[in-house]
């Protein structure tokens, strides 16, 4: 009986891993999974994966992480439930004033709602479910270092495939996206995404994965305290050269999007990944200064020689759009009108026009705030946004602590930390985490990075050189 139970446990674990790898590999394909059908599919797949993963052994640290994530999900659920409350809930004191004004204008009694758009919080729940289920899957599977590494490799390889496809498709016909004619970003690479900015941060995070895999291989092969002998060994290593080539493909794809924020945030994320590996040899000021100068010079050379279109766009348009700052001011006015409960999850496109500043360009439709934190505060209130900020800071601190204490394989945690920094910076001026495909990939890997086992034993990097065969 015990043998049968163990075998079923292995099968369930393998099935869960397969479903998660399938999700993060295929989610970007159908236009970033922004359609309701794709979101429904991934909610179903991740639900099955999470149920199967529950059969696996869970350590104390995973239990604490899962409990914290469950409390965050509970807070989110309570806010959504209140926004969907009946008109007479608490005497209607929470109802949005727009319903009373509408009743007055129409001359008839219209039942109110705490949400500006009735039923919209439920209709907009799909991406939130993807986020919470993806994180749960990552936390459940990431406790096994082998499975966490498998998830990371699935992301790296699938991202490389999308980068190659995007480059080829852009060269063949830049006006098409998966056989459909582009309505925007005709001159920029978007691969299978509608938005070039999301494509940029996706390929940037994929590049971070390949960078980490390359550094981990170097660390295991010759150590990170490199000298001439070690460099000669690495130049003869096919795996190192392949990892570097894969990284360069992702770099080219990222720069071809001509996204300013996505590219800059990704470069900073790569710096974080590199620092996660090199921090043991950065004890001196000289070492820190060398890495900082090298990172700046490397980024400048990359932008100049590989990101010509990006450099040209920054030179002509600057590093930011003036219209976004006016949009942020308009979003702040929305927050001030409903600071405690927000206007309702998913209601931003309907609410923003009433608060839209005349200084915002009339070109285009502002269906996003281009700042995820502001949009969260506008839709679900300042208290819930504050809870998310606190959780985000705690997650960052946990990842930093894990990277600094890790003596073994730091790959998954390093990539999770680099992606956290890059996505956090990018989401302050755009909305990558609101695109289901990228959110799925990001939160699965974030969960894997948080749950990655901590190995305190291991050889020092400066003395870990091995004699080449």
For residue 292, what pLDDT is reported?
57
Cβ neighbours of residue 388 under 8 Å, at least 6 residues apart?
A: 72, 373, 376
For residue 307, what pLDDT is reported?
46
Span 398-433, pLDDT tens digits:
999 999 887 778 899 999 999 999 999 999 999 999
For residue 256, what pLDDT is reported?
93
For residue 141, what pLDDT is reported?
94
For residue 409, what pLDDT is reported?
83
For residue 253, what pLDDT is reported?
95
For residue 460, what pLDDT is reported?
41
Span 15-45, pLDDT tens digits:
999 999 999 999 999 899 999 999 999 999 9
How many angstroms separate the CA atoms of 15 and 213, rounded?
A: 25
Q: What is the pTM of this model?
A: 0.89
For residue 180, what pLDDT is reported?
87
What stretches in the chain show pLDDT beneath 70? 1-4, 224-234, 281-322, 362-364, 455-469
For residue 344, what pLDDT is reported?
95
Span 53-99, pLDDT tens digits:
998 888 899 999 999 999 999 999 999 999 999 888 887 888 888 99
């Amino acid at each position: 009986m015990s043998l049968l139970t163990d075998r079923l446990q292995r099968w369930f674990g393998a099935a869960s891993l397969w479903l998660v790898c399938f999700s993060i590999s295929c989610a970007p394909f159908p236009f970033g999974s922004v359609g309701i059908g794709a979101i429904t599919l991934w909610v179903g797949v991740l639900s099955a994966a999470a149920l199967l993963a529950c059969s696996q052994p869970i350590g104390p640290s995973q239990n604490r992480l899962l409990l914290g994530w469950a409390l965050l999900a509970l807070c989110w659920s309570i806010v959504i439930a209140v926004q969907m409350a009946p008109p007479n809930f608490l005497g209607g004191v929470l109802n949005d004033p727009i319903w009373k004004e509408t009743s007055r204008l129409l001359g008839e009694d219209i039942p109110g709602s705490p949400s500006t758009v009735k039923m919209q919080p439920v209709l907009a729940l799909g991406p939130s479910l993807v986020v919470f289920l993806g994180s749960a899957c990552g936390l459940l599977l990431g406790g096994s270092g082998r499975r966490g590494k498998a998830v990371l490799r699935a992301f790296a390889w699938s991202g490389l495939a999308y980068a190659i496809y995007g480059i080829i498709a852009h060269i063949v016909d830049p006006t098409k996206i998966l056989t459909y004619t582009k309505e925007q970003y005709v001159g920029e690479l978007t691969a299978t995404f509608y938005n070039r900015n999301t494509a940029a941060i996706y390929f940037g995070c994929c590049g971070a994965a390949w960078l980490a895999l390359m550094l981990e291989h170097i660390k295991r092969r010759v150590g990170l305290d490199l000298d001439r002998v070690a460099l000669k060994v690495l130049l003869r290593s096919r795996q190192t050269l392949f990892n570097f080539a894969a990284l360069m493909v992702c770099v080219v794809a990222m720069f071809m999007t001509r996204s300013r924020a996505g590219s800059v945030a990704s470069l900073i994320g790569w710096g974080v990944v590199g620092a996660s590996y090199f921090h043991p040899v950065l004890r001196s000021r000289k070492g820190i200064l060398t890495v900082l100068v090298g990172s700046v010079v490397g980024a400048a050379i990359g932008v100049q020689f590989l990101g010509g279109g990006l450099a040209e766009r920054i030179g002509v348009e600057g590093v930011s759009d003036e219209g976004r700052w006016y949009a942020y001011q308009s979003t702040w006015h929305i927050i001030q009108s409903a600071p405690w409960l927000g206007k309702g999850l998913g209601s931003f496109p309907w609410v923003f026009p009433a608060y839209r500043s005349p200084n915002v360009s009339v070109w285009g439709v502002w269906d996003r705030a281009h700042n995820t934190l502001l949009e969260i505060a506008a839709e679900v209130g300042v208290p819930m946004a504050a809870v998310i900020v606190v959780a985000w800071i705690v997650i960052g601190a946990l990842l930093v602590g894990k990277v600094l204490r890790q003596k073994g394989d730091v790959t998954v945690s390093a990539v999770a930390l680099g992606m956290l920094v890059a996505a956090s910076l990018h989401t302050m001026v755009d909305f990558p985490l609101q695109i289901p495909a990228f959110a799925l990939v990001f939160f699965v890997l974030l969960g894997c990075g948080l749950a990655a086992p901590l190995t305190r034993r291991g050889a020092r990097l400066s003395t870990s050189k091995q004699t080449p065969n």
